[in-house]
Amino acid sequence: MAQRHGTEFRKEAVRLALTSGLTRKQIAADLSIGFSTLNKWVQQDRHEELMSGPHDDQAEEIARLRKENRILREEREILKKATVFFVSQK
């Protein structure tokens, strides 16, 4: 399968998704890409940042760890809400 979008396009799409304040659905529609594609790119970007390894600069390392912490908290909250939803469906 051919790669339709270059690295710079993907980086810009992820940057927009994380900083623009628009919904991901709106950004995906504006860029003529699939919503799931945009979500996949954002997840890959987060994963690459988190797995980039230790940094020499302590301030940069602290910022990276705080970001990782925030992401993990967000994911935990989503899982809690999903659990409540599925339990209430019984």
Q: Do residues 47 and 67 both lie within one domain?
A: no
pLDDT digits (tens, 9 = 90+) for 24-72: 899 899 999 999 999 999 988 887 777 766 656 788 888 888 999 999 9
Residue 61 · residue 54 · CB < 8 Å: yes
Instruction: Give CA–CA dist 74/8, Å, rounded.
Output: 27
In the prediction, which pLDDT does 1 show? 41
Within this chain, do residues 11 and 48 fall inside the same structural domain, yes or no? yes
* pLDDT of 21: 84
Q: Say which amino acid occupies 51.
A: M
Based on the domain organization, do 42 and 2 belong to the same domain?
yes
CB 50 within 8 Å of CB 64? yes
Mean pLDDT along residues 79-85: 91
Q: What pTM was estimated for this model as a whole?
A: 0.53
Give the count of alpha carbons within 13 A of 57, CB side only.
4
| CA–CA distances in Å: residue 33 to residues 49, 78, 79 | 23, 25, 27
- Distance, first Cα to last Cα, the chain: 42
Structural domain total, the chain: 2
Find the CATH number of the domain harbouring 34: 1.10.10
Domain range holding 35?
A: 1-52
Shared domain for 38 and 7, answered yes or no, is: yes
